A and B are shown apart, each in its own frame.
Chain A
Amino acid sequence: MSLVRKLKPDRNITGALVPLSMLLIVGIASLIFGLPTGLTTLAVLMWVYSLFFLYGFIRTGNVAQLVLCLEGAFFGIMFLVFEPHYGMNKVGNSEFKVAYIFGVVFFGFVLISLALTRRLKWRGREIFELAGESVEETGNGYTSRPRPVGKVEYSPQQMNAFAHFCARHLIALPYKTSKNFTLVPIKMGDEFGRLLGLSSDYRDATWVNFDVSGEVSVHIAQKDYLDYREPLAFDQLCTSLGQVFIDFFELYNKGEGVRVIDRMDDLGLGIFS
């Protein structure tokens, strides 16, 4: 376990901006059009939120995304059920209360357990910490060029399965072409832009590429490189990042995928960072 963090503390608030902006929109809608409209707005926003996580589930296969999707859909319905009865003292019926309380308890419990077990966590920071762990030398040398870091033997089926594994555990988002499997590690808060395609092209982000001939190459985005406390020797950092994924691939290939998760959990990074 690394005691000295190589990355700067996470001060990214992008992840919190989405729910906060929902509150702001609902507040403004309530102020202008009244609370019933505010509730309808909240319900619509919850469904939009739910659709995002449904897409996240389809794209990654991560079950926790599906739970978030169901949670959004459920509370969206609850707000819509509540809205026509607002101010008429009819919402106090026991069915609504039971459904609402059960929903809150169920989703509360499930979401807290998913968060605590890091199943909702995008593992980008863990990946970068692991990559930086073995690099002691400093000296910058940043370049936007990718670096070939080695070669691994694999079949397309093996790589496909590994890419699915990385996506399912939110280790990296895979992009497949006829000749390449590109894995893009994503930090918490960056998933919205990347999944919705609002961020720049994935080739400009940090990635590890496995091509059909087994060549592994690595590209580190300047934004991610600047996230390290010190200007680590760039060529070593690229090699190390590539090696992290090669190790993960080999562990996964041996049927020890759980060790990959353990290695990342052992870093003890915050569940929202």
Chain B
Amino acid sequence: MDFHTAAKYASLLSKDYAEDMFKLLVNYQAISASEVATRLDLHIKTAQDFLESLAQLGVLSKEEVLEKKRPYYRYALKQTRISIDIDLMQVKREPTHNNLSKLIREKENAGARFAVARSDDYITSVTIWTGEGRERTERKIKLTTLQGKFLYHLPFPKAVPLTISDIMQKAGIDENQAPEILDLVQLLEKYDVIEYIPE
């Protein structure tokens, strides 16, 4: 299961009426949103949204029923067990030859402020400003020591760019620690602090 789907399940299950809602769904063969709403003293829209979301996730089946020419849906439970199973390794940034060999350097006029550690050669945090005018906000990103060392050795704007693996080597960072470096590079690239240079 991906994070997005798991988040939808979690959001639905966290509602304070979720357990009561499932009690009805388990004990009734099929039930409509208005029946649920009146039974649980909820607004019909609240009940309908909940049931519709479960139907979209495939937990419920819905059937259109006509009553006095006015159609509505009846929902029935399709499965009796919900399990949220996320493989956390799916979000790991596996270092590949391709992403470690990308040429990077600091982007010119990035406008970021770098705080340097007093005791050693590494950057402790990067402060970035985003937005314009009154919407302008400051975002401070605290770095791990490894990320700080990496950033310390990042080529300057207009300087000859280096590959990520070369910078890691200069900073004395082992390749198996590449995922946290790649995460930082991706983040700073998003905020226009780092630029990729085509070979």
Contact = CB atoms under 8 A, between A and B. Distances in A.
B121 A211 contact: yes
Nearest to A178: B119
**At the interface, is chain B mostly helix, strand, loop or mixed?**
loop
A142 interface: yes
Contacts of A211: 120-121
B95 interface: no
Given A141-B108, A144-B114, A145-B151, A215 B158 contact: no
Given A140-B108, A145-B114, A179 B120 contact: yes
Contacts of A180: 118-119
B106 A143 contact: yes
Interface residues of A, number: 24
B189 to A, nearest CB: 16
Nearest to B110: A143
A3 to B, nearest CB: 27
Interface stretch (A9-17, A38-46, A231-239): A231-239
Q: How large is the interface on B (under 10, 10 to 19, 20 to 34, 35 or more residues)?
A: 20 to 34
Interface string A212-236: 0001010100000000000001110
B60 interface: no
A184 to B, nearest CB: 14
Interface in A120-151: 139-148
Interface string A112-124: 0000000000000
Contacts of B170: 148
A139 B158 contact: yes
B116 A235 contact: no
Interface in A187-232: 203, 209, 211, 215, 217, 219
A177 interface: yes
B156 A219 contact: no
Interface in B116-141: 116, 118-121, 123
Given A178-B119, A180-B119, A235 B155 contact: yes
A203 B116 contact: yes
Interface of B: 106, 108, 110, 112-114, 116, 118-121, 123, 151-159, 170
